[in-house]
Structure formats: C-alpha cells, structure tokens
Structure 1
C-alpha cells in the first residue's frame, strides 16, 4: 500500500470513529475515559494524527459496540505497514515528538542514515531479499528522516559509540559518505551529535535507546535489539532510561570534539578507498 493510500485509510478510520462516537452521543473526553486514554488522544485518532494501539482499538469496539470493526481496520492497516511490528508505533510517535534523544552503540541512527548506508544494513540482515523489498526499506527510512527538514522539526540529540565510526558498513566509501552526511547535519545545527569514545569504557546502556518528549503526552522510551523492540511509557522505567542516557551523554565527547572525530574517521575511510 502506498504511503498516500495508507494515510487515506487511517483518515477513514478516524472519520468512522468520529461518526460512530457522535452517533452514540458521547464526547471525546467520555470515550477517552472509557478506553483509558485522554480526550485529546481520541481527537488525534479522529484526525489521523496519531494511530491507536491494538488494545485501544479493541476497547473502542467494546465501548461503542461496533462488533470489532476498529480492530479489523487496525489489523489490516498494520498488516500493510512498512516497519517491523515492534517499531511501527515508535515510528508514528516520532512524527509527534518535540524532542528525540537517540543512543546507538553499533550503527548510525536511522534518521541520520544515507540511502547507501541503509541499503547495506538491509542487505546484511536480509541477504536473500528481492531488490523491491530492499528499496522499500530504504525509501521508508529515508521518508522518516524528512522530519529533520521540517520547520517544526523536533529537537534532536544523537549519541553514537566510536564503533559506529570505525565499522565500514557497505565498505569504506559508503560509510565515509554516511559520516560526512552526519557531520553536515551537525554543522547545519539539525542535530546535536556526540560520540562515546572507546576510552570511556562500558556504556550505561548496551542496546539502542530512544527518548521522546511530546507537547500533550508523557515522555516515552524505546529500546531495541536485533529482533525486537519495546516502547516504554511507565514513568519509573522512563526515568531509569533517561538516567542511563544522561550517564552516556556525560561520558561522551563534546559536540565539537565529536564532530572533529567524525570528520577524521571519514577521512581515514576515504584514504582506505583510495589505496585499494
């Protein structure tokens, strides 16, 4: 399903939700209290700004007595999504965040990747995939990065381990181009970027970590390993994740020193390319 038709389908979901809610004679706030979200969330569902999670869609069906229609629509739309199930909701929240803080110990964060770098990662994890599958993943990740070009883009912080600068994903030239792209974004103040050097020792968190803040909702944390991810909204857990991020940030190089190291690593990779 193309991105435009997918959005149109979510808009239909929202319009149908609004129609059935109003026919039942209840307000957004009342429906929200029944399904354990805020009235503002219901409004965002109806405007197709935010997508509900499955359990919320199921509770909407129960509250409005709609015989499972919202669950069925949800499952069909999610079935057609371009992201892994465990990341899909995090990708939706990404568009709504006012601040995003990423920590990546092994690869360049998705929002900062170049097409060539993304393609190399996809091929590494799906060695028997078709070209169509690979390009779909590359396009989807590239579309996510568009939020950094928006005038209302979120405040974006990223910390990467020095390993990211030294590992030639897709070969030295591909990684050099990717690092130069990252450096360019940092120089244009699209991102505040830091590097955790080898000399810092063990990081406070071994897997990737993302913190997201919003205008109208509590902050969330997202953690990911190679085959699964978890979106965390329990305040105590988010607080622990934020503390881990602060510890990593405190051990990382300054943004200026990090930029110098990134550009130096890119030059080293370019030299490897020129001597082969």
Structure 2
C-alpha cells in the first residue's frame, strides 16, 4: 500500500480508507469481487468500504493486509481513520476501552455508546451537531458502531452499566427509535459478560449527578473517565479512582436488580411500541 501523505489525506476517514483499498486493488489488478471472496465478506460490503460509505471492521482490514501482502498496513490505517473520527481528547479513552478487561458505566442522559443502536446514535449526533452534513453524521455513527466490536470479540470485557431512569424516559429520535434501543438493551443484557441495572426515580437522590465510567485493565490498573462541556478526561489518580469507585458501588447498591431492571426496560419498551 502506498504511503499516504498527511497533506493529501481526505477529511472524511471513511473516504480515506476506501481510497487506499481502491488503489491497492488497482495496483494488484484485482476486482472488488475477488477481494470479497478472499476476505469472506459480501461484495456489497466491500463496495461500501471502497466508496467510503461504511467503516471497515478490524477483521476486514487484517484480511486486506493478507490479500494485498501489506503486513499491518491496513490495520494501522484503520486505527488512524478511527482516531481522525474522534476528538483528540477522546482517542486515549478509545484505546483504553479496547484494552479494558472490565468497564463500569453510569449514564444519566444517554445510553452509553457501546450499547447504542445506529438509529439512536444518529439521533444523538443530530441533536449535538445540527450543522453537520448527512455524511459527517454517518461517519460518526459508523465509528461508534465500530467501537461495539469489542463486545463481540472472543474474550470481551466485562461490561456493567447503570442507567438512570431518565435515560429510558428521554425520547431520543422518536418512539420507534426508543423502542428499538430498549429492545437492544434487553438483548445485550442477556449476555453473560453484560450487566444492566436501572437506577429508578424512586431511589432518591443519586450518588452522582453526572455520567462517568471506570475502566480496569488486565493488570488491575484502573482509570476514571468523565466528560465536561465539550471535553473528556482520563484520570488515573489513585485517590480519585477510589472515590469514584465508592460512588459507583453506592449507585449499584441503590439500583434495581438485574431482573427488575430488565422487566422495567421491557415495560417502557412496550410503552414506546404502542
């Protein structure tokens, strides 16, 4: 694969990756169909990647490296594309998220990114970025969906999510979008590595009024991640991590059990579906 000059990199990361795949196909004298057969993906998927309409998966990037004999090149490019699609301050968190053995999340407004459906994520981004084009919004959604792959890998992280009831009651997009999102939550909660609890309004004042999460690595190292207006922070201060771990434990104790939480999610889902 040719070395990409930063000055010629497209602003759109999807276009960038697709352009490089197209160039490699031309250099090899191969067709998209041949690439589809070699990688085990369907031709429409390959076409979308080549035309900058879909973000490649890590597996597809690795298979491209095998097909084009470019060891690691497309894999590294995918990382750069993913970084480009996120604010600079968010990139360290994304990397920590990929490496985490355990993720504990408390959400007060929106469903956490790893559990969002494409439709819900699009509605979130359209509300937050009203002046962006459809392609820019789609690029953001694709990057968010790409992050979900860590939950589907062979050894996924343990994910514990506590949702304030307001997350379930706030209509993001429309009622159909919410019904689909809550159905997805119910499906994900059935996996052994995913736990979902709801902190109901009846639980009283929560131990925290803001969203945050804690990430634990294989070696036991823990970090705190939280966001303020327009910026996020990764904090590895031992005292801060202890403080927010205690807050998380209090939220967990105040939240409904897994079974009661799932029943509530399904009940609200049915309300949206009517």
Common fold: TM-score over 0.5: yes
Q: Determine the C-alpha separation between the residues in 1 that align with 2:268 and 2:230.
A: 29
Partner of 1:240: 243
**How has the CA–CA distance of structure 1 residues 207 and 262 changed in structure 2, closer, same or farther, with 3 Å as cutoff?**
same
Gaps of 5+ in 1: 9-76, 272-276
Q: Determine the C-alpha separation between the residues in 2 that align with 1:225 and 1:162.
A: 21
- 1:75-122 Cα deviation digits (max 9, x unpaired): xx6996211222211111101000000100111110000000000000
- 1:186-227 Cα deviation digits (max 9, x unpaired): 123341000000011221111111101112362101011342
User: Aligned with 1:95: secondary structure?
Assistant: helix
Gaps of 5+ in 2: 1-12, 21-79
Partner of 1:158: 161
Q: Determine the C-alpha separation between the residues in 1 that align with 2:95 and 2:154.
A: 18
Q: Determine the C-alpha separation between the residues in 2 that align with 1:116 and 1:167.
A: 15
Q: Determine the C-alpha separation between the residues in 2 that align with 1:139 and 1:78.
A: 11
Partner of 1:186: 189
Stretch deviating more after TM superposition (226-235 or 122-131): 226-235
**How has the CA–CA distance of structure 1 residues 117 and 191 changed in structure 2, closer, same or farther, with 3 Å as cutoff?**
same
Partner of 1:104: 107
- 1:206-263 Cα deviation digits (max 9, x unpaired): 1111101112362101011342211000111111110111111110000100000000
Partner of 2:202: 199
Query: Is residue 153 of structure 2 the alignment partner of residue 145 of structure 1?
Result: no
Q: Determine the C-alpha separation between the residues in 1 that align with 2:142 and 2:235.
A: 27
User: Aligned with 1:134: secondary structure?
Assistant: helix
Q: Determine the C-alpha separation between the residues in 2 that align with 1:165 and 1:205.
A: 18
Q: Determine the C-alpha separation between the residues in 2 that align with 1:79 and 1:265.
A: 34
Query: Is residue 252 of structure 2 the alignment partner of residue 249 of structure 1?
Result: yes
1:207·1:225 contact (CA, 8 Å) conserved in 2?
no
Q: Determine the C-alpha separation between the residues in 2 that align with 1:220 and 1:4.
A: 32
From 116, 121, 129, the equivalent of 1:126 is 129
Q: Determine the C-alpha separation between the residues in 1 that align with 2:220 and 2:122.
A: 34
Relative to the length of structure 1, the TM-score reads 0.69
Q: Determine the C-alpha separation between the residues in 2 that align with 1:265 and 1:86.
A: 35
Q: Which 4+ stretches in 1 moved above 4 angstroms?
A: 2-5, 77-80
